[in-house]
Amino acid sequence: MATGQKLMRAIRVFEFGGPEVLKLQSNVAVPVPKDHQVLIKVHACGVNPVETYIRSGTYSRKPVLPYTPGTDVAGVIESVGDSVSAFKKGDRVFCSSTISGGYAEFALAADHTVYTLPETLDFKQGAALAIPYFTACRALFHSARVQAGESVLVHGASGGVGLATCQVARAHGLKVLGTAGSEEGKKLVLQNGAHEVFDHKEVNYIDKIKKSVGDEGVDVVIEMLANVNLSNDLKLLSRGGRVIVVGCRGTIEINPRDTMAKETSIIGVSLFSSTKEELQQFAGILQTGIEKGWVKPVIGSEYPLEKVVQAHEDIIHSSGKTGKMILLL
């Protein structure tokens, strides 16, 4: 059988909509890498909230239909394009982006978005690296421009991005506060770098945060659910403080006056806007963290490819999420 005719199992989306539009097909052609591309045999793929927004058709980026979702995979190089010199067949890798989609047995990626997976981490952990840690780095360093000694509140800290943010912030000398919605989540947040944790399901938890940070307020809020929390976030900030919007699932009413007295800002984050150079910078921070041992990906729920519909339902509807959700292939 010619190379171009190899077939694989992959999830395909033919129309935008609810989780039910995710279709498992077993006759999808395996892509062939060109020039600066590599083909990865996928062992694990991350599931991220943004993939549910894209699938529903409500996100600013709409892929051409049909498409295969999935961004951050970990696996082994199967083959490489003619211009690739950094990788060879058999190398263990993870990536921050795919060309052909990650919810599949094989995924095509540009070589500058692929990184060596250290032997100390397994494929599940490899699939929990790129999106959570690169997003954390972009939010903290690019958007918030944090300085050692500042305080940061990670609002929704027990998910994949939240835990990564706690680890990165703690390693870079910040005072880290986190929120979670379950006992298990709160424990995880403390184990992964937070100095203090608050239960965002408690009615008066905002008052508890205010009491903890005092009149000074908090320098930076990394916000995972802006449509619920943004108004409160603005009231927690210090002079010159900033809210960094990482996640949002709808609209919210705020009073712009809350930004004026302390000259605070609201800044959005989009990992997809990163340049090649910025991605290399984030990869460098991650590499250092892996070597020093403070990068410790926490794996949450695991699903086989057949259960992808369930995964997309759970990532949005299960509150008190802990760790990074992954698909296993």
Q: Whole-angstrom Cα distance, residue 230 to residue 246?
A: 11
- C-alpha pair distances (Å), 264 with each of 150, 153, 165, 245: 15, 15, 21, 14
pLDDT at residue 1, as a whole number: 42
Query: Greater confidence, 49 or 141?
Result: 141
Reported as a single tens digit per residue, the pLDDT across 34-46 is: 999 999 999 999 9
Is a pLDDT exceeding 80 seen at residue 319?
no
Which residue, 320, 276, 284, 326, is CA-closest to 133?
284
pLDDT averaged over every residue in the chain: 95
Q: What is the pTM of this model?
A: 0.92
Q: Average of pLDDT values for 28-55?
A: 96
pLDDT at residue 320, as a whole number: 61
Reported as a single tens digit per residue, the pLDDT across 101-139 is: 999 999 999 999 999 999 999 999 999 999 999 999 999
Reported as a single tens digit per residue, the pLDDT across 57-80 is: 998 889 999 999 999 999 999 999
Q: Average of pLDDT values for 181-208?
A: 96
